[in-house]
Structure 1
């Protein structure tokens, strides 16, 4: 058993845990099947669950690292919220990194550096785990959009191209996306989307 950290580290951990609590109320553009807006924390939970379930189909992938990356990939949204993909303009990574740094500033420096390195790895897609995390993130998003009770003007057509380069980067994620795209096309037609 390891020894307990100093009291100031315990306070720092609690300050960080409190600072990230708003992620539970950070709403995304997707809706649940009951019609409630989905939170970023809920999106992250299912993305992690997807990675865990698929573990035996992901040879050469470090599951622990993949889960670590997925857990922190949207953590900065606790500060500035989520910007729906169709509304994003330009590169938002500098703002997201600044949000991460502000949250991580609560933690002891070695812990903060470790978590920021994971976020940087995800953002730059510099490892197989980070590239897979991006694919799972996008797959979870388009899957939720097929399950949610979305408003009548929901843009299903956008989802057909959303994150394609990331979901196509891994054969398993690409194959899992195929039936989701078929369902998205059907929903797009039913909603009267004339773009399809």
Structure 2
């Protein structure tokens, strides 16, 4: 790696730090707004804990996809699913933000991260499908355990990401358990 490449990598890593402070719509169990980095960390932990249950999955690729899936949010922040619009797809602006964030990287690294992000968005490979499913499940899990504010819309989660979490059987079983938890939270709200 050249000195220029190293400088670009460090610039990128400094800019990516912003996901530590970008907040999401959910709250931790302590009542603090969840950060994008908080979400990404537990998504990766879920992949580590569950990967052996999915034979044929390239674990290294799965983790790489999980790590980069929300990097664009370092610039534009998270847009909660309940606030997203078909007229202004989140993926378009998030990809543009990702490209801005990746600009300091040497071209091969920039291309690699972009390919992983695009793979996640397309959800066409087994690894991307599993990453997408775990991403949705992590969000549901956080919403069922977080100290969310009054008026939090738990029932929205009953349909959230369903197309990604209906299969395989373990993903569906986790989804069913989280739906039950969601209903309990909705009834208690």
TM-score (norm 2): 0.97
**Which residue of 160, 163, 180 corresponds with 1:162?**
160
**Which residue of 142, 145, 152 corresponds with 2:143?**
145
Measure, in 2, the Cα distance between the counterparts of 1:72 and 1:50. Answer: 15
Moved runs in structure 1, 4+ residues, more than 2 A? Answer: none
Decide whether the 8 Å contact of 1:131 with 1:169 is kept in 2.
no
Structure with the higher helix share, 1 or 2 = 2
Measure, in 2, the Cα distance between the counterparts of 1:32 and 1:164. Answer: 23
**Which residue of 7, 14, 17 corresponds with 1:11?**
7
TM-score (norm 1): 0.94
**Which residue of 38, 42, 48 corresponds with 1:42?**
38
Cα deviation, 1:147-189, whole Å, max 9, x if unaligned, reads: 0001110000001110011111322111112111111101111
User: Which has the higher mean CA deviation after the structures are superposed, 174-183 or 59-68?
Assistant: 174-183
What root-mean-square deviation, in Å, do the aligned CA atoms of Structure 1 and Structure 2 show?
Answer: 0.8
Measure, in 2, the Cα distance between the counterparts of 1:96 and 1:63. Answer: 25
Measure, in 2, the Cα distance between the counterparts of 1:140 and 1:48. Answer: 10
**Which residue of 25, 31, 41 corresponds with 2:27?**
31
Structure 2's unaligned 5+ residue stretches are none
Measure, in 2, the Cα distance between the counterparts of 1:66 and 1:105. Answer: 24
Measure, in 2, the Cα distance between the counterparts of 1:11 and 1:80. Answer: 24
Give the C-alpha shift of residue 73 in structure 1.
0.3
In the alignment, what sits opposite 1:194? none
Measure, in 2, the Cα distance between the counterparts of 1:51 and 1:117. Answer: 19
Decide whether the 8 Å contact of 1:121 with 1:127 is kept in 2.
yes
Decide whether the 8 Å contact of 2:72 with 2:94 is kept in 1.
yes
Measure, in 1, the Cα distance between the counterparts of 2:31 and 2:153. Answer: 16
Measure, in 2, the Cα distance between the counterparts of 1:33 and 1:71. Answer: 23
Structure 1's unaligned 5+ residue stretches are 192-196
Q: Tell me, what secondary structure is at the counterpart of 1:54?
A: helix
Decide whether the 8 Å contact of 1:135 with 1:170 is kept in 2.
no
Given the alignment of the two structures, is residue 66 of structure 1 paired with residue 58 of structure 2, yes or no? no
Give aligned pairs, total.
187
In the alignment, what sits opposite 1:21? 17
Cα deviation, 1:117-141, whole Å, max 9, x if unaligned, reads: 0101011112010011000000000
